[in-house]
Amino acid sequence: MDTMFSLKEKTIVVTGASSGIGKCTSIAISKAGGRVVLIGRNEDRLIETFNKLEGIGHSYYTFDLLNFSEIKSLVSRIVTENGKIDGLVNSAGVESTVPLKVLSYKNLEETFKINVFSGIELTKHFSNKKNFSSKGSIIFLSSVMGSLGEKGKIAYCGSKAAVKNMIKPLALELADKNIRVNSISPGLVMTEMTDKLFASISEQSSQDIINKHPLGIGTPNDVASLCIYLLSNSSRWVTGTDIIIDGGYSIS
């Protein structure tokens, strides 16, 4: 039995690798023996992650996922330079608090482009047999907010609900290729996204959110550990499912 969740000999692509959950997951993948391909917009922050990786053979690519039409050539470049991949973690995401009366099409479009469309496009091109090894795992970051509601979160909740359901048809379509597709729905995890959220609401509201997590709020490491399991062969029979990891938030 694979008890160590080894990622030896595996090449894993991680978006949102310059910050928070994506950064922590990239480091955890390298500790589990995998090679990591980091994607993010901010080069300095990507290099910061890159310098924390263990082992050799890692690489990074600065790329704005809003450049949807260039995703196909990014995928070709990555595979040409790193070989076929064994896994993809779609961690890049944006979150904003925009009430209905000021919600614009632009806000909705940007949120869905990054949180939903870019991951589908990456999955479409990476899952081509030229680009993916004989089996592997694709992870999307959804959120407990994909099942719950909060004022001002129409775009975010809508996008995360889309993520946790679209993995089901993706898993069915990719099962023949031995590619598993799952999503993770975290509760509140302390990252820059959470810092920005707390800065946009009152101290009392922030405390109320924290208090709703019976086990307290999470760390990026909590989510990274689940990613390692889902990327490893130990989860070979897990596909098309959304896994909630929220310190009890959604049961309280």
Ligand X SMILES: NC(=O)c1ccc[n+]([C@@H]2O[C@H](COP(=O)([O-])OP(=O)(O)OC[C@H]3O[C@@H](n4cnc5c(N)ncnc54)[C@H](OP(=O)(O)O)[C@@H]3O)[C@@H](O)[C@H]2O)c1
State the residues that interact with ligand X by CB under 6 A. Answer: 16, 18-22, 40-42, 45, 64-66, 91-95, 114, 141, 143, 186, 188-189, 191-194
Residue partners of 39: CB distance under 8 A and separation at least 6? 13, 14, 15, 16, 17, 60, 61, 63, 65, 74, 92
Residue 176: CB minimum distance to ligand X, A = 28
**54 or 110: CB nearest ligand X:** 110
Per-position b or e across 67-103, b if 16+ CB within 10 A of its CB? eeeebeebbeebbeebeebbbbbbbbbbbbebeeeee
Q: How many CA atoms lie within 13 A of 239 on its CB side?
A: 20
**Which pair of tokens denotes residue 105?**
């099409």
**103 or 226: CB nearest ligand X:** 226
**54 or 64: CB nearest ligand X:** 64
Residue 100: CB minimum distance to ligand X, A = 20
Distance CA 78, CA 84 (A): 9
Distance CA 63, CA 85 (A): 18
**62 or 131: CB nearest ligand X:** 62
Distance CA 165, CA 168 (A): 6
Q: How is residue 114 annotated by DSSP?
A: I
**87 or 93: CB nearest ligand X:** 93
**20 or 34: CB nearest ligand X:** 20
Residue 119: CB minimum distance to ligand X, A = 9
SS3 content of the chain, % helix, strand, coil (to 5): 50, 20, 35
Residue 241: CB minimum distance to ligand X, A = 16
Contact 62, 40 (CB under 8 A): yes
**Which pair of tokens denotes residue 111?**
């949120």
Residue 49: CB minimum distance to ligand X, A = 9
Q: How many CB atoms lie within 10 A of CB 128?
A: 14
**26 or 239: CB nearest ligand X:** 26
Residue 9: CB minimum distance to ligand X, A = 26
Residue 150: CB minimum distance to ligand X, A = 12
